[in-house]
Structure 1
Amino acid sequence: MPKRTHESPLKSTDRPYLALGLEGSANKLGAGIIRHEVDGSSTVLSNVRHTYITPPGEGFLPRDTAVHHRQWALKVIEDAVTISSVSMHDLDCICYTKGPGMGAPLQSVALVARTLSLLFNKPLVGVNHCVGHIEMGREITGAQNPVVLYVSGGNTQIIAYSRQCYRIFGETLDIAVGNCLDRFARVINLSNDPSPGFNIEQAAKKGKRLVPLPYSTKGMDVSLSGILTATEALTYDKRYRPNDSPRNGDDEDCFTSADLCFSLQETVFAMLVEITERAMAHIGSKEVLLVGGVGSNVRLQEMMGTMAEERGGKVFATDERFCIDNGIMIAQAGLLSYRMGFQTPIKMSTCTQRYRTDEVHVAWRA
């Protein structure tokens, strides 16, 4: 991984630092161990994840997701420790997702983190899920001071760093982009394995026709509930062919589910590119960093890359190992915070469902 730059106020040390990160804010349970080397670089020692998958057409409920996390926590953590070839006694701290996210899954993982902290007498560090995505993205890609597009199932934000805080320039006014895609996948009965968003992406590659859909940017913000409603309504249109059967000369005006997936992606991603470009122009940045589960979408990366190239800039993105929720991103952000002297007392190791990105003191950046 890239070395941290001169902008980091982290003190140099004569030994490596180790952290275990636990993530469980939604349907993915993750555990990862990271090591900060003496020279300032980082090494991912393990990154294990297990996903709660529901039948096609169904979402995941907080209660059932929490049960999944409790059932798999021991196995996932044991695998992470085994793969990393370190002992729990070697860790400097244990990091967990404090929020934002779904209440019951968050509480399940926090309980596991508290238990481990007490069992092995290790400091506990609560981490903002969004900041975890950003710091892991910066570490993996080497992006210095990018405009961050954070897009996932529960969050859609345009973010830039200033004065030890990640400032939110724009965000969704209603539902997140990942939630928009996932809900439409349920409407057309796409599988949730490995994820509905991934299967929307694959279906969109087969789309041939761009169906007009509402385009709703409001300054630096976006609204996605309207485009979702409009796309769902088109599945009741007499021109709709749900089985993706080939067109013939009599139904040139018809469209398939693949066409709708293609149209939904193209329209929503165009909205995201627009507000990202505005943020780049505002702060004078030439870098864009894509984080969050939707950030691994290849089509979004292509569209953002075209815009950035026209501005003489560059897009930084990672694959599903680090874009999709994982424990290693919590370990990375938590260890940065721990090395600046921050710890979460056991009695304060609670969860916050609405934990804003701009509420975090980013002490490790100058």
Structure 2
Amino acid sequence: MPTVIGFEGSANKLGVGIIRNGEVLSNPRVTFITPPGQGFLPRDTAKHHQANILEVLRKALDEAQIKPEDIDCVCYTKGPGMGAPLVSVAVVARTVAQLWKKPIIGVNHCIGHIEMGRLITGAVNPVVLYVSGGNTQVIAYSQRRYRIFGETIDMAVGNCLDRFARVLKLSNDPSPGYNIEQMAKRGKQYIELPYTVKGMDVSFSGILSFIEDVADKKLKAGECTPEDLCFSLQETLFAMLVEITERAMAHCGSEEVLIVGGVGCNVRLQEMMGEMASERCAKVFAIDERYCIDNGAMIAQAGLLMFQSGQITPFEETWCTQRYRTDEVEVTWRD
């Protein structure tokens, strides 16, 4: 069976993973963490990746106990993502592919999440809710494409949570979304927020503006707590996501739903999705933070499937793109 190495660095996570025949041999990852109240800028994130990638690559090879000659194919994230971090990692992937004389494959980041989710959970043909800092999509497979049934029309759900964490000056360690999740568990009062589902699509920017205004007025007046606001924001955003996922399941006649992406680790989102699924006699599949947060193994797994189905990226096409739609990729490895 082929042994494939995957490089991921589309945002603030840098990972290198090695997969052989569906087995994760190694998957080290480092995260660029900024001070509370700050986001991560592309230039600074790229510098972080450049400073750490050779160490992470060495760790991946050591943990897997393999040498470069054992690797059959090199894979990297082609997009979507932040331009400077993507290119920083792609340069290393291109370099090792040439040094080791191996074929190279550019992988769609979103499809990496989906295929890793299918591998780890065993879900066969699920409706996929892909939720992260940069993406929010409801996806299902049909006729050699992963079709997008609904998506955000402005910001991603993870970005909405991250930006509200900045308003509250929450720590970015391990992630702003995780810290909002912990605070939400202590929330006692639900504050009504706008609920913006538009057909199969969702919108989050208005909700963020609204809750920022509430935080400015009600927090200062002592009418609510930061915990109440975190609770209210989570409940509203997740209810919207469950609604459009259920509609896609009804359309496809699906009895499986798979949650992937960094926000997919959120236990409350998994609970809400589970309640909906149980009413439909359906199953929810979710993965823990090892694989739902951006990592190198997911790029290796998608790349492995592409490699086995005969997809190789010509070297002159091994560039990166910040916009790379999930439904642009021809899925040659599924019936």
TM-score normalised according to structure 1 size: 0.91
Distance 1:112 1:130 in 2: 21
SS at match of 1:240: helix
Counterpart residue type for residue 20 of structure 1:
I
SS at match of 2:107: strand
Residue 329 (structure 2) aligns with = 360
Match 1:167 to one of 147, 155, 159: 147
**Within-5 A mapping of 1:36-55:** 36=21, 42-55=22-35
Matched, 1:143 2:123: yes
Could you tell me which runs of 5 or more consecutive residues in structure 1 were left unpaired when the two chains were aligned.
Answer: 1-15, 37-41, 243-250
Structure number with larger C-alpha Rg: 1
SS at match of 2:39: coil
Match 1:196 to one of 176, 182, 191: 176
Matched, 1:19 2:4: yes
Match 2:197 to one of 217, 220, 227: 217
SS at match of 1:234: helix
Distance 2:227 2:220 in 1: 9
SS at match of 1:236: helix
Residue 325 (structure 1) aligns with = 294
Residue 70 (structure 1) aligns with = 50
Distance 2:10 2:96 in 1: 18
Structure 1 consecutive aligned stretches of length 4 or more whose deviation exceeds 2 Å: none
Counterpart residue type for residue 26 of structure 1:
A
Match 1:240 to one of 219, 229, 245: 219
Residue 265 (structure 2) aligns with = 296
Matched, 1:282 2:280: no
Distance 2:103 2:83 in 1: 23
Conserved? CA contact 1:241–1:256, under 8 Å: no
Residues 205-230 of structure 1: CA deviation (Å, up to 9, x unaligned): 11000001000000000000010011
Q: By percentage of residues, which structure has more helix?
A: 2
CA positional deviation for 1:338: 0.8
Distance 1:350 1:88 in 2: 23
Report % sequence identity: 68
Residue 113 (structure 2) aligns with = 133
SS at match of 2:179: helix
CA positional deviation for 1:144: 0.6
Counterpart residue type for residue 240 of structure 1:
L
Counterpart residue type for residue 76 of structure 2:
Y
Residue 237 (structure 2) aligns with = 268
Distance 2:309 2:61 in 1: 25
Q: How many residues align?
A: 335
Matched, 1:119 2:99: yes
Residue 346 (structure 1) aligns with = 315
Distance 1:273 1:32 in 2: 31
SS at match of 2:28: strand
Match 1:30 to one of 7, 12, 15: 15
SS at match of 2:27: strand
Conserved? CA contact 1:128–1:357, under 8 Å: yes
Matched, 1:337 2:322: no
Residues 111-143 of structure 1: CA deviation (Å, up to 9, x unaligned): 000000011101100000000000000000000
Distance 2:32 2:51 in 1: 11
Residue 180 (structure 1) aligns with = 160
Distance 1:205 1:86 in 2: 43
Distance 1:135 1:209 in 2: 39
CA positional deviation for 1:241: 5.3
CA positional deviation for 1:56: 0.2
Distance 1:303 1:290 in 2: 12
Matched, 1:231 2:200: no
Residue 313 (structure 1) aligns with = 282
Distance 1:342 1:314 in 2: 32
Could you tell me which runs of 5 or more consecutive residues in structure 2 were left unpaired when the two chains were aligned.
Answer: none
Conserved? CA contact 1:211–1:260, under 8 Å: yes
Residues 291-347 of structure 1: CA deviation (Å, up to 9, x unaligned): 000001000000000000000001000000000000000000001101111111222
CA positional deviation for 1:108: 0.3
Matched, 1:61 2:41: yes
SS at match of 1:255: coil
SS at match of 2:66: coil
Counterpart residue type for residue 273 of structure 1:
V
Conserved? CA contact 1:135–1:332, under 8 Å: yes
TM-score normalised according to structure 2 size: 0.99
